[in-house]
Amino acid sequence: MAVLAARGHGKSMFFSEILNLYDMFLFKHRRIILISSSGEQAEHILDEFKKIVDNNEWLVTKRGNRWATETIEYNEGYILAKGIGSEILGQHVDRILVDDILRSDNKLTDSQIEDYIDMNLEPMLLNRNGQMILVGTGKTASDIFITIESRIKEGSNWRLFKFPAILDYEKKIIQCPDRFTWDDLMSKRLSMGPSKFAREYQLEFFSRDTSLFSERLVKQAKEAGRECILLDKADIRGAEWVFIGGVDTARSGAVSADYTVVFVIAYNNITQTKQIVHFWREKGLKISEQAYYIANIARKFNNCFMLVEQNNMGEEMINELVDTYNVNVGSFVTGGKGQKKEELVRFLITAFEHGQMVIPQGDENSRTQMRILEEELSKFCVFTTAFGNEIFKGMGKDDCVMSLCLTNRATQEVCTPFAVSEFGQDKEIYGAYLITNSKESDLVRKIRMGLIR
């Protein structure tokens, strides 16, 4: 069994001390090996175990004669405490507890730790049909916990349990409210940064080097939006602005399914600015219910154009939006000809790199809602397959990223016309483009107008 728990959640006390003490008090002859990151740390945990026993008149009745630094006897059984990598010979035990062995200064590599567990520790459990428990907080995308998770997918009888600090960002539900408050965790997240917090407290493992949306890019978009806020409906803007939406549909309407996510951005045809103005996500809704909410959002933003992913439930959604609500909809088949996921993502990365994307940060509601997007962006990574192909994938949920990709792509559907007349009904709409210099070439004018980037 492998147990991943957030840092500072008392995992060592429960699994290394309380669980073993409870087990050994009830059953005689229990043999346990305790492995920690170093011999000193293992002995420290054993000292805590001894203090609990010595200070309880009931528990101390089963204390054995040997009460040493590395080994103690209890209820005719024993606990042996060792550091990771230590030579342990001739032991046949009921349980091996591997506690918090991953450290940034660990002398053993990930593969050496894996070999030690498989070839040194595992054989000691065979004779007594014993149990191994690994407890800790993951450190890298290749450590023993990720290895075990991969083995489980291949059919191994390992079991993995995760206990992140935050269970639900939107509802502010946390794992140990008696130990931390929501504000405590948010303060820690701000001081550590979202990437480190995701690893240490949310147990989400990814390499910063493989993240497609760097902290620098996201920070730049947040800086641009420090005076902007999310809106419930369209505000009054100049003629160069247009509202555009994108919808990433869920794979099913079940409560356990992915989210259906909608982003609306205000797009400036001249500056190419793409300001996020609305964000909605929900799961567990029927297609008709989702369509109702999406159509309502479109109406509130001047009946804006919506680009909908046609995969999954998208085709039925599009039909519902068009037939029932007369929404201006375009479809995008992810993976179709000229519509690959990687191209969608690259186009969004370009928007961030060019400083076009604006993430609103002007009030608490905007910051809270955009934190969900920020988390997904930081964990959206690139992986290389054995055949050398690149795969873009979110480590966890990526519904928000894909919805924003679609919204960004929709700006190509609602773009500046190539010919703008200064006469007729179009003059007021495109007046911003008509301040021209007769000496300008067509190429220079198109660059200034944003037609060529």
The per-residue pLDDT for 434 is: 42
Spatial contact of 201 and 194, defined as CB atoms under 8 Å apart: no
The pLDDT of residue 222 is above 90:
yes
pLDDT per residue over 62-93, tens digit each? 999 999 988 999 999 999 999 888 888 778 99
- pLDDT above 70 covers what percent of the chain? 80
Q: Which domains does the chain possess? A: 2-161 (3.40.50.300), 164-205 (no CATH), 208-410 (3.30.420.240)
- Alpha-carbon dihedral of residues 286, 287, 290, 295, nearest 10 degrees? -150
| Alpha-carbon distances, residue 424 vs 213, 266, 268, 418 (angstroms) | 44, 26, 22, 16
- Mean pLDDT across the stretch 313-321? 84
How far is residue 384 CA from its own chain's centroid? 20
Smallest CA-to-CA distance from 83 within 65, 107, 118 is with 107
What phi and psi, each to the nearest 5 degrees, are found at residue 131?
-125, 140
For residue 439, what are its two tokens? 């000496």
pLDDT per residue over 388-430, tens digit each? 666 777 666 788 999 999 999 999 887 544 444 444 444 443 3
Smallest CA-to-CA distance from 407 within 353, 338, 357 is with 357
Could you give the CA distance from residue 203 to residue 201 in angstroms, rounded to a whole number? 6
Neighbour tally for 182: CB within 10 Å: 13
pLDDT per residue over 265-306, tens digit each? 999 999 999 999 999 999 888 889 999 999 999 999 999 999
Spatial contact of 6 and 34, defined as CB atoms under 8 Å apart: no
Tell me the β-bridge partners of 241. Answer: 268
As a 3-state breakdown, the chain gives helix, strand, coil percent values, each rounded to 5, of 40, 20, 40
For residue 128, what are its two tokens? 């007594």
- Alpha-carbon dihedral of residues 108, 111, 115, 121, nearest 10 degrees? 60
Contacts of 344 (CB under 8 A, 6+ apart): 332, 334, 402, 405, 406, 408, 409
Could you give the CA distance from residue 248 to residue 259 in angstroms, rounded to a whole number? 8
The per-residue pLDDT for 114 is: 87
For residue 61, what are its two tokens? 């009745």
C-alpha count within 13 angstroms, C-beta hemisphere, residue 170: 9
User: Which pLDDT band holds residue 60 (cuts at 50, 70, 90)?
Assistant: very high
The per-residue pLDDT for 344 is: 87
Q: In terms of pLDDT, which residue wins out, 386 or 318?
A: 318
Could you give the CA distance from residue 438 to residue 329 in angstroms, rounded to a whole number? 39
This model's pTM is above 0.85:
no
Could you give the CA distance from residue 71 to residue 59 in angstroms, rounded to a whole number? 18
Starting at the earlier edge strand, list the strands of the sheet with 260-268.
Answer: 329-332, 305-309, 241-248, 260-268, 274-282, 357-358
Could you give the CA distance from residue 367 to residue 316 in angstroms, rounded to a whole number? 33
Pairing mode of beta strands 160-163, 2-5: parallel
Residue by residue, DSSP assigns 296-342 as HHHHHTTS-EEEEE-TTTHHHHHHHHHHHH---EEEE-TTBTTB-HH
- Alpha-carbon dihedral of residues 218, 345, 381, 394, nearest 10 degrees? 100
pLDDT per residue over 340-360, tens digit each? 788 889 899 999 999 999 999
pLDDT per residue over 127-177, tens digit each? 888 999 988 877 766 678 878 877 887 788 888 888 888 888 778 888 888
Residue type, 361: Q
Q: In terms of pLDDT, which residue wins out, 196 or 277?
A: 277
Q: How many residues does the chain have?
A: 453
pLDDT per residue over 230-268, tens digit each? 999 999 999 999 999 999 987 655 554 678 999 999 999
